[in-house]
């Protein structure tokens, strides 16, 4: 099926500044359409665990937040994925699909340490423009880096470097494309250990094998909205006008998405993140003060790590860390429809206060005895 490709013109949507300051090419070099390199470490948490423990290598492994069957897998090794295990799947289901799976409790401090090692290695080859998550980064390419063969060779060098410096289990996929969205799509084309380029002349053909949900930015809700608008495939999405996308999305994000998809590289908009939060529904086994306290401590450490100022080596690019002013720990007590358990939702403040004192030790009436640099304040939600 041949769909119309987009003729590129100078596009200026005037969304303001965004992203890192552009690097300048030092010489006039013939370039391809490739402007971005996107890297995603495969099965990150599970790969780090396999790197740390050789006994886990080559085996189906699932990383879990807590060791209980009522939780969900937050990562699965490639061997586990071969059994159909997916991130977010309840452990009872994981065990049905793969009875021999090894469950490993998540160690976020370890994953952060590996993240820094990975970032340091990538920055030896090309400056990172943006860290999207603990295992995903995007790098803007300039000058001769944009020549297809050079970009592919750069991708191979980074992949080799990561294996050498972070470990043989840390395999990654690299995508090269005119925009970040397309580079991420390219990255997902070949997993694990892929290296794929998408150029303008590949569009839209290369995308037509994908489902709408394969595109970053289209979740379950957006897919429903698109279907309501009569768009049930990438082919249908490709031919709509940018303004139509804006209407479906209900904001300028839709129009930006359209340009991103069609290979038009717009500067990313600045976003200010005002808070970082983590929450977890406690498994029945963890609904006791000491166990709950451990989970709260782990969530606090995770939030503190996410908020910690991070500098990328070499001073070529920098993530501005956020300094936390306040730490809120909240809990919600609600009856859940789990057979065999009876939950009493406290209806009065005194009972809640007593449960809080029992759970947190009550070193200070309004504080939690956790080792963090934050002022602590307990919030209550019901």
In the bound state with Mg ion, the residue whose beta carbon lies nearer, of 86 and 244, is: 86
Mode of pairing for the β-strands spanning 375-378 and 326-329: parallel
In the complex, least distance from residue 133 CB atom to Mg ion, rounded to whole angstroms: 8
For position 135 contacting Mg ion by CB under 5 A, the verdict is: yes
- Give, to the nearest 10 degrees, the angle between helix 289-307 and helix 108-125: 20
CB-neighbour burial class of residue 86 (10 A; exposed 0-12, middle 13-18, buried 19+): middle
Point out which span in 37-45, 56-64, 224-232, 300-308 binds Mg ion (CB under 5 A).
Answer: 37-45
Which one-letter DSSP state was computed for residue 144? Answer: G
For position 249 contacting Mg ion by CB under 5 A, the verdict is: no
Distances (CA, A) of 263 to 28, 176, 278: 22, 12, 35
Query: What DSSP element (H or E) covers 46?
Result: helix 44-52
Mode of pairing for the β-strands spanning 102-105 and 136-140: unpaired
Identify the CA nearest to 173 among candidates 34, 41, 35, 47.
Answer: 41
In the bound state with Mg ion, the residue whose beta carbon lies nearer, of 33 and 40, is: 40
Binds Mg ion (CB under 5 A): choice among 44, 189, 238, 249 = 44
Point out which span in 17-25, 128-136, 158-166, 243-251 binds Mg ion (CB under 5 A).
Answer: 128-136
In the complex, least distance from residue 22 CB atom to Mg ion, rounded to whole angstroms: 27
In the complex, least distance from residue 78 CB atom to Mg ion, rounded to whole angstroms: 11
In the bound state with Mg ion, the residue whose beta carbon lies nearer, of 40 and 123, is: 40
* Separation of alpha carbons 340 and 65, rounded Å: 23
- Rounded to 5 degrees, φ, ψ at 103 are -95, 135
Cα-only R_g, the chain = 23
Binds Mg ion (CB under 5 A): choice among 36, 39, 40, 376 = 40
Question: Residue 22, Cβ neighbours under 10 Å: how many?
Answer: 10
In the bound state with Mg ion, the residue whose beta carbon lies nearer, of 173 and 179, is: 173
In the complex, least distance from residue 175 CB atom to Mg ion, rounded to whole angstroms: 12
In the complex, least distance from residue 163 CB atom to Mg ion, rounded to whole angstroms: 16
For position 189 contacting Mg ion by CB under 5 A, the verdict is: no
Total residues contacting Mg ion (rule CB under 5 A)? 3
In the bound state with Mg ion, the residue whose beta carbon lies nearer, of 106 and 329, is: 106
In the complex, least distance from residue 165 CB atom to Mg ion, rounded to whole angstroms: 18
Q: Which residue in 79, 120, 123, 136 is the catalytic one?
A: 136
In the bound state with Mg ion, the residue whose beta carbon lies nearer, of 40 and 79, is: 40
Point out which span in 23-31, 101-109, 129-137, 214-222 binds Mg ion (CB under 5 A).
Answer: 129-137
CB-neighbour burial class of residue 209 (10 A; exposed 0-12, middle 13-18, buried 19+): exposed
Look up 49 and say whether it is catalytic: no
Q: Which residues pair with 75 in a beta bridge?
A: 63
In the bound state with Mg ion, the residue whose beta carbon lies nearer, of 102 and 184, is: 184
In the complex, least distance from residue 134 CB atom to Mg ion, rounded to whole angstroms: 9
Do 186 and 197 form a contact (C-beta atoms < 8 A)? Answer: yes
Question: What contacts 290, CB < 8 A, 6 or more positions away?
Answer: none
Structure tokens at 367: 């504080």
Q: Report, as residue numbers or ranges, the catalytic residues.
A: 136
Q: Which residues of the shown chain bind Mg ion in the complex (CB under 5 A)?
A: 40, 44, 135
């Amino acid at each position: 099926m041949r769909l119309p490709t987009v003729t590129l013109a100078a596009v200026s949507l005037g969304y303001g500044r965004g992203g890192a300051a552009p690097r300048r090419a030092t010489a006039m070099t013939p370039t391809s359409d490739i402007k971005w390199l996107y890297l995603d470490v495969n099965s990150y948490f599970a790969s780090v665990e396999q790197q740390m423990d050789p006994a886990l290598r080559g085996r189906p492994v699932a990383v879990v937040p807590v060791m209980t069957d009522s939780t969900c897998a937050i990562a699965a090794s490639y061997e586990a994925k071969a059994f159909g295990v997916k991130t977010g799947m309840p452990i009872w289901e994981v065990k049905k699909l793969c009875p021999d799976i090894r469950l490993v409790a998540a160690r976020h401090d370890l994953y952060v340490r590996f993240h820094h090692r990975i970032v340091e290695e990538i920055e030896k080859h090309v400056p990172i423009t943006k860290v999207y998550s603990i295992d995903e980064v995007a790098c803007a390419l300039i000058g001769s880096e944009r020549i297809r063969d050079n970009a592919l060779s750069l991708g191979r060098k980074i992949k080799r470097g990561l294996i050498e410096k972070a470990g043989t289990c840390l395999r990654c996929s690299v995508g090269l494309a005119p925009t970040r969205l397309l580079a991420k799509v390219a990255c997902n084309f070949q997993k694990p250990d892929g290296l794929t380029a998408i150029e303008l002349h590949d569009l839209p053909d290369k995308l037509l094998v994908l489902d709408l949900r394969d595109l970053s930015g289209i979740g379950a809700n957006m897919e429903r909205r698109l279907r309501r608008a009569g768009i049930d495939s990438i082919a249908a999405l490709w031919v709509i006008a940018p303004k139509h996308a804006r209407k479906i999305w209900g904001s300028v994000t839709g129009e930006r998405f359209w340009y991103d998809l069609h290979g038009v590289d717009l500067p990313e908009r600045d976003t200010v993140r005002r808070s970082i939060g983590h929450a977890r529904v406690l498994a029945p086994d963890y609904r006791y003060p000491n166990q709950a306290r451990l989970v709260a401590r782990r969530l606090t450490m995770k939030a503190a790590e996410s908020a910690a100022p991070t500098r990328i080596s070499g001073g070529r690019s920098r993530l501005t860390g956020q300094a936390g002013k306040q730490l809120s720990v909240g809990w919600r007590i609600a009856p859940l429809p789990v057979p065999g358990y009876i939950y009493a939702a406290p209806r009065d403040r005194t009972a809640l206060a007593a449960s809080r004192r029992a759970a947190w030790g009550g070193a200070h009436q309004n504080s939690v005895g956790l080792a963090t640099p934050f002022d602590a304040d307990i919030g209550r939600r019901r």
